[in-house]
Amino acid sequence: MNEKISYWIELSDYDLDTAEALLASGRYFTEMDKSEVIKKLKKYKKLISNQIAVEELILFGSYANGTNSEDSDIDVAIIVDKLEGDYFSTRPILWKIRREIDDRIEPLLIERQHDESGFLQEIQKTGIVI
């Protein structure tokens, strides 16, 4: 029981630390409309295209289907035919660039050749191509 209590106390401390940092930096979140999200993603696509060969950028999730709230993240799939280099060295680049635009951007890198789950097909049907 004490382990569970310690776990929840640690989580609440982390959340308070995060909230304080966001307030101190002035980077707290407000709800955006879809057009503002699309504008940010176009800028993001331009920046990451300098680093990797982006075939498609697709907005999916709550902003794509209109169920977003002020604490929603911006789910975006970055589609490449084949990743040049290592996934684990490319991913941090995507996360670093997102910080230049909006911390809510949640990039998901998908290699077209290796999507066996059907997830890519689903977001191509329901998402918004940027």
The tens place of each residue's pLDDT in the chain, 130 residues long, gives 566 556 555 655 555 666 565 555 555 555 678 899 999 999 999 999 999 999 999 999 999 999 998 889 999 999 998 887 777 788 889 999 999 999 999 999 999 888 878 899 999 999 999 9
Residue numbers of the domain that contains 78 = 34-129
Do 125 and 94 lie in a common domain?
yes
Do 19 and 38 lie in a common domain?
no
Do 60 and 102 lie in a common domain?
yes
For 79, half-sphere exposure in the C-beta direction (CA atoms, 13 angstrom radius) is 18
CA 46 to each of CA 8, 78, 84, 122: distance values in angstroms, whole numbers, following the listed order: 40, 12, 18, 24
C-alpha–C-alpha distance, residues 2 and 5, integer Å: 5
- Maximal C-alpha separation, the chain: 51
Do 60 and 110 lie in a common domain?
yes
Q: Is the pTM of this model over 0.85?
A: no
